[in-house]
Amino acid sequence: MIERLVHWSRVKSPWVLHLNTGACNACDIEILAALMPRFDLERFGILLKGTPRHADVIICTGPITRQNRDRVVRIYEQVPDPKFVVAVGACAMSGCVYRGSYNANLGVDQVLPVNAYIPGCPIRPDALIDGVVKLLNSLK
Amino acid sequence: MEFKVQLGPQHPALHEPISIRMTLDGEVIRDADLRLGYNHRGVEKLAESRSFIQNLYLTERICGICSFSHQTCYTQGVEKLMELVPARRGLYIRTLVCELERVHSHLLWLGVAGQEAGFESFFMYTWRDREVVMDILDWISGNRVHYSMNTFGGVRRDIDEMQRKKILDTLDLLKQRTDYYLNLAASEPTFVGRLAGVGKLSRQQAIDLCAVGPTLRASGVPMDVRKDDPYAVYDEIPFEVSTADSCDVLGRAVVRVKELIQSYRIIEFLLKNLPEGPFKVKAPRKVKPNEVYSRYEAPRGENVHYIKSNGSDKPERLKVRAPTLANYPATIAMLKNGFIADIPLIFAAIDPCICCAERLVQLDDGRGRGRVLRFSELRAMANERAKKIDYTKREIAWPF
């Protein structure tokens, strides 16, 4: 009974942490735009949170830079289980234009286990909503 | 008693990774220090291994909010190196996108300022109106954020008569809304009470610390590259440089709202006087050995690109000085003797774009010792790294 309640609340109101892991800001503003009146991501119960300890889903934008790497792992460890990672944008998926740079990784999945990929450079808010809804459906 | 507090790199008050180290005396900040490098992706180094055309798309991705300003600054520089005169219609369309970008960036900033001041509904209002500008950019370029409009010798897409009419119609709505914001920013007592007197930067301080953009103009210095050193077609366009004398965050908000109104005037002028003819001219692939300094007035202030060519189809050196980097010393001065509660507001007031400003060569080796990496070392590191890269990932071969 309690388990079902916990599961239900998890699917109905996932709280997300927006983590800039070396992105160019474009995906970041599109994530914010998705939370605004036009797209209104909050209607799915999704709430943007400032601290990793409150979050269920980490939204990573960017290829993870060398200096950021250890911090990202630390933030990932602070998120309570079960946790999900969404790689947002082309550079979070594979490095995009930063491929071959001395300071950028080849995507978030080189550092963290990723549950969902949302393509685009940058993503459109519609794509983000689609990706998040698909992730939520997979949890059911 | 004084004690030290570290804010960031991941913190609810900061939207991007940056770390502020502060020395506090109670609630008053006595000293502040910024730690950068969390977002450094090595764009300048990457630019040296790509051709001039490829770099158009790389410079665009220096920053997502002012993507067009970096791309235009780079394009103008390379056009100067190529001794190429761009098509006039192309220049008009380029300037149009510049101004549309300024509008969306300033609306975004107003919302963020509203949020930091605890005025959530203002945040929602401005971001709703920002979607209108994003729609216009979507019609023109086919993308919401990275427009990829520039090419050497003009722009990549023309605008037709229908788009022109549609933009002019939508502009009326935006004008109406902005008048309301100006009214609100100047008369709403709670908003004014929160912003006035916060983050003081006197005129002399602003000049001494080399502040740029709205931060400088809000301290009463009428400096704007569009007026002082006109690029594109700004010398033909009638507009005024907006300034304020209050030297605080309220002044910076007012400057930005005034600039919005000026931008609408510029957009209207550009659309009504759009010249006929081709929108781009053919550009050479190789560039003669030379060097150039390109200036551009981005929404956040003066953006500078230095490009050196060596006769091949790749630049030998690209140096980017983003406006946020120029504003950091002024931010430290503003933070000093302020309150902890004002940090997000003061920091947001320069409209920080941290990913723009991550241009570092000096590295910290993690043991507190800084060292300067030489070009050859950096190159060896990059080569070593490139060898390790597995270009086949999930059965898909990477085309490069």
Encode pLDDT of B325-352 as tens digits.
Answer: 888 888 888 888 888 888 888 888 888 8
Across A17-21, A44-48, B36-40, B388-392, least confident range: B388-392
**B56: containing domain:** 43-335
Provide the number of structural domains found in chain A. 1
Residue A3 lies in a domain: no
- Are B338 and B28 in contact, with CB atoms under 8 Å apart? yes
- pLDDT, residue B275, reads 93
Q: Give the residue, B106 or A7, on which the prediction is more confident.
A: B106
The predicted structure's pLDDT at residue B398: 47
Task: pLDDT band for B282, please (50, 70, 90 cuts).
Answer: very high
Q: How confident is the model at residue B281 (pLDDT cuts 50, 70, 90)?
A: very high
Evaluate whether residue A7 is within a structural domain: no
Using a CB–CB cutoff of 8 Å, tell me whether B394 touches chain A: no
What SS3 class is residue B170?
Answer: helix
**pLDDT at position B369:** 57
Residue B286 resides in a domain? yes
Is A62's Cβ below 8 Å from some Cβ in B? Answer: yes
pLDDT of residue B308: 92
Number of domain units in chain B: 1
Q: Which chain A residues are closer than 8 Å to B61 by Cβ?
A: 24, 26, 91, 96-98, 121
d(CA A4, nearest CA chain B) in Å: 31
Q: How many CA atoms lie within 13 Å of B153's alpha carbon, on the beta-carbon side? A: 12
Closest chain B residue by Cα to residue A38: B128
B356 contacts on A by Cβ (under 8 Å) = 25
Q: Cβ of B120 under 8 Å from any chain A Cβ?
A: no
Is the Cβ–Cβ distance between B296 and B302 less than 8 Å?
A: yes
Percent of chain B with pLDDT over 70: 92
Q: What pLDDT, on a 0 to 100 scale, did the predictor assign at position A117?
A: 93
Q: Give domain status of residue B189, yes or no.
A: yes
DSSP characters for A58-80? Answer: EEEES--BHHHHHHHHHHHHHSP
Q: Rounded distance, CA B50 to CA B377, Å?
A: 19
Alpha-carbon gap: B65 to the closest alpha carbon of chain A (Å)? 6
The whole-number average pLDDT for the span B369-379 is 67
Could you list the beta-strand ranges (E) of B134-247. Answer: 150-151, 154-155
CATH assignment of the domain containing B251: 1.10.645.10
Lowest mean pLDDT among B133-147, B178-192, B243-257: B178-192
- Across the interface, do B131 and A38 touch by the CB < 8 Å criterion? yes
Q: Is residue A53 part of a domain?
A: yes
Q: What whole-number distance in Å separates Cα of residue B71 and Cα of residue B61?
A: 9
Choose the mutation target among A91, A99, A102 for the interface with B, i.e. most B CBs under 10 Å.
Answer: A102
Stretch A50-63: mean pLDDT, rounded?
Answer: 89
The partner residue sitting opposite A65, judged by closest CB among B11, B40, B65, is B40
- Exposure on the CB side of residue B53, measured as CA atoms within 13 A: 9
pLDDT of residue B72: 94
Tokens coding B249: 């965050």
Residue A5 lies in a domain: no
pLDDT at residue B370 is higher than 60: no
User: Does a structural domain hold residue B24?
Assistant: no
Chain B neighbors of A20, CB-CB under 8 A: 15-17, 39, 355
pLDDT of A82 > 80? The answer is: yes
Q: Listing from the earlier edge strand, what are the strands of the sheet with A47-49?
A: A47-49, A15-20, A57-61, A84-88, A116-118
In this predicted model, what pLDDT tens digit does every residue of B101-134 receive, in sequence order? 999 999 999 888 888 888 888 888 999 999 999 9
Pick A20's closest partner by Cβ from B17, B45, B356: B17
In terms of phi and psi (left: phi > 0; alpha: psi -120 to 50; beta: otherwise), the region of B74 is alpha
The pLDDT assigned to B307 comes to: 93
- Residue B149 falls within a domain, yes or no? yes
pLDDT in tens, B56-72: 999 998 888 888 999 99
* Residue A113 structure tokens: 């286990």
Least Cα distance to A19 among B7, A63, A120 occurs for A63
Asked if B131 and A63 come within 8 Å (Cβ–Cβ), the reply is no
Q: What is the mean pLDDT of chain B?
A: 86
Q: What is the pLDDT of residue B158?
A: 92
Q: What percent of chain A has pLDDT over 70?
A: 100
Q: What pLDDT shows up at residue B52? A: 92
A2: distance to nearest CA of chain B, Å? 31
Q: Is residue B368 part of a domain?
A: no
Q: Does A77 contact B at CB distance below 8 Å?
A: no
pLDDT at A3 over 50: yes
Instruction: Answer yes or no: is A60 within a domain.
Output: yes
Calculate how close chain B gets to A56, using CA atoms only, in Å.
16
Q: What CATH number does the domain containing A47 carry?
A: 3.40.50.12280
Q: How confident is the model at residue B93 (pLDDT cuts 50, 70, 90)?
A: very high
User: In the predicted model, what is the mean pLDDT of residues B6-14?
Assistant: 77
Task: Specify the range with the lowest mean pLDDT, choosing from A65-79, B74-88, B359-373.
Answer: B359-373
Compute the nearest-CA separation of B63 from chain A (Å).
Answer: 5
**In this structure, are residues A109 and A138 in contact, taking their beta carbons and an 8 Å threshold?**
no
Domain that holds residue A110: 13-139
Instruction: Kindly state whether B8 is in contact with chain A, defined as any CB-CB distance less than 8 angstroms.
Output: no
Looking at residues B26-43, what average pLDDT do you find?
A: 85
Q: Is residue A2 in a domain?
A: no
A25 touches chain B (CB under 8 A): yes
> Is A26 in contact with B128 (Cβ distance < 8 A)?
no
Q: What is the pLDDT of residue B115?
A: 86
Task: Note whether residue B317 is domain-resident.
Answer: yes
In chain A, residues with a C-beta closer than 8 Å to the C-beta of B10 are 19, 52, 71, 75
* B130-174 confidence digits (pLDDT tens): 999 999 999 999 888 888 899 999 999 999 999 999 999 999 999
Residue B111 lies in a domain: yes
Residue B379: its pLDDT value, please? 75
Task: Answer yes or no: is B106 within a domain.
Answer: yes
Contact B127 A65 (CB under 8 A): no
B94 has a pLDDT exceeding 90:
yes
Rounded-to-integer distance, Cα B352 and Cα A28, Å: 14
CB contact (8 A) between residue B146 and residue A121: yes
pLDDT of residue B400: 44
Quick one: pLDDT at residue B366?
57
Say if the Cβ atoms of A33 and B131 lie within 8 Å.
yes
